[in-house]
A and B are shown apart, each in its own frame.
Chain A
Amino acid sequence: MTKPDDKELVRQVAGGDENAFLMLYDRYAAQVHALTLRILSDPMLAEEATQDTFLKLWSRARLYLAERGPVPVWLLTIARRTALDRLRLESRRPTLSTADDPDDLWRVIPDSKTTGEESRWRALYMAVQSLTPDHRQVIELAYYQGLSQSEIAETLGWPLGTVKTRMRAAMEQLRRVWGQP
């Protein structure tokens, strides 16, 4: 018996199918939750952001366009925005990872089993860990704290040009280490 694919499930969710919704939840809740936790670093807020993300899946499923990309990218993009909005709402100061321990934010204990699909993402995770602290920090503040380059410059007290150079170098390094599929 083959499992229904993501796109088919989203189509069914758009038609109000709760079982299809729960199947997608079971497939992606752990990834959505990992991302919201990564951004909010607070279990309660992360759980709420995860809930909001899936409620948006329920109400926006009909807006999903298959040709614009895979379902998990769409869902996790919603999760990222939801968590970043929440972060702004809480008006919390950005977490400065190098201030204490640069590796701390990336030291999440993974859930037990790793599937074949996951290993590719794990490789990117390792690639981020292999960045120098400065490079990892610009990626961190940009992507998981939602700061603009000017805000990063202000937060870290670096010249804007330095932020830009390090951002480019960090992305270059990730491309080199992780490679293109």
Chain B
Amino acid sequence: MQNDEHKIFEENIPAYSLGTLDAEETSALEIHLPTCASCRNELAACRQISDGLLMAAPPKAPPAALRQRLQRRLPSAQKTNRPPRNWSFDRLALGFAIIVLLALNLFSLSQMQSFRRQQAQLTHELQTSQTALAMLAYPGTQSLPISAANISGALLLDKDRSVAVLIIWDLPQLPDNRTYQAWLVDPQGNRTSAAMFDPDPDLPFTSVTIKSPNELSAFTSLGVTVEPAGGSRQPSGSRVFRIDF
């Protein structure tokens, strides 16, 4: 049984590495991968080819005008990206978070005014984002950026007050039978469920309040996995990202 299953997954790996595997098979494989070293090795070998194909076309210089056009566009692209000179990286992440949260507040408010439906959900979102905004005013709030392919955002963390809010951009929608679940990880590697959430299809970002049973300082990282709808007692699905405190 186990072996037959593994064989089917293994056969799908070349297609997966090229990004051509159908969505359902992709989710199934992504659940299998963390559990199977042999499939991970196979994937690493296939990735050599798929990464190589990125470089395989003989180089062809773009028109020279493109370089100058880009150069002209950098300063304006910079205004939104670049903090004043002596801001630290942390500040930059915080600044980014503030912009996201203000947008979230405005968006939620306007939605609340125009639609009565889903009010509870929106109130909840608004509360989460207002918590996050309030957190930004604390000097002790850390902003830890998320680093994952195609997903950006930050975890706002105040260990002293045991408050944390996760802000995620571009989180892919999941099929109905799956959900995202956040886990707090302690130094022994034990996982405690901290939230379940799904991205709002109408919003480009997702905000989640992290509920910690103990002091947040008892944990060393936070991970997010894909789990069956309703959540799991322990992580069983593929990891989306992890943030170390």
Contact = CB atoms under 8 A, between A and B. Distances in A.
A152 B20 contact: yes
Interface residues of A, number: 67
A77 B47 CA distance: 12
Interface of B: 11, 14-15, 17-23, 45-46, 48-63, 66-67, 69-71, 73-74, 77-78, 80-82, 89, 92, 145, 147, 149-150, 152
Contact of A50 (B14, B23, B49, B66): B66
Given A124-B49, A168-B11, A147 B54 contact: no
5 contacts: A34-B57, A35-B54, A38-B57, A108-B60, A121-B52
Given A33-B60, A47-B62, A150 B48 contact: no
B70 A142 contact: no
Given A62-B145, A124-B52, A143-B53, A37 B20 contact: no
Contact of A54 (B11, B14, B70): B70
A57 to B, nearest CB: 10
A122 B52 CA distance: 10
A40 interface: no
Given A148-B20, A149-B20, A178-B49, A76 B62 contact: no
Given A33-B60, A58-B77, 9 more contacts: A22-B71, A73-B54, A81-B150, A108-B58, A110-B60, A121-B52, A124-B49, A124-B53, A180-B48
B94 to A, nearest CB: 13
Q: Is the interface of B mostly helix, strand, loop or mixed?
A: helix
A147 B15 CA distance: 11
A148 B21 contact: yes
A178 to B, nearest CB: 7
Contacts of B55: 31, 72-73, 76, 121, 124
Nearest to A175: B49
A30 B59 contact: yes
A96 interface: no
Contacts of A47: 62-63, 66
Contact of A29 (B49, B54, B62): B62
Contact of A30 (B61, B73, B81): B61
Contacts of A65: 147
Query: Nearest 7 pairs between A and B by C-beta?
Result: A110-B58, A142-B20, A30-B59, A171-B14, A76-B54, A34-B57, A33-B62
Contacts of B17: 171
Task: From B20, B22, B70, B71, name the one whose CB has the most chain A CB atoms within 10 angstroms.
Answer: B20
B6 to A, nearest CB: 16
A51 interface: yes
Contact of A171 (B46, B60, B80, B89): B46
Contacts of B92: 62
Contacts of B51: 69, 73
A128 B50 CA distance: 12
Nearest to A141: B20
B22 A148 contact: yes
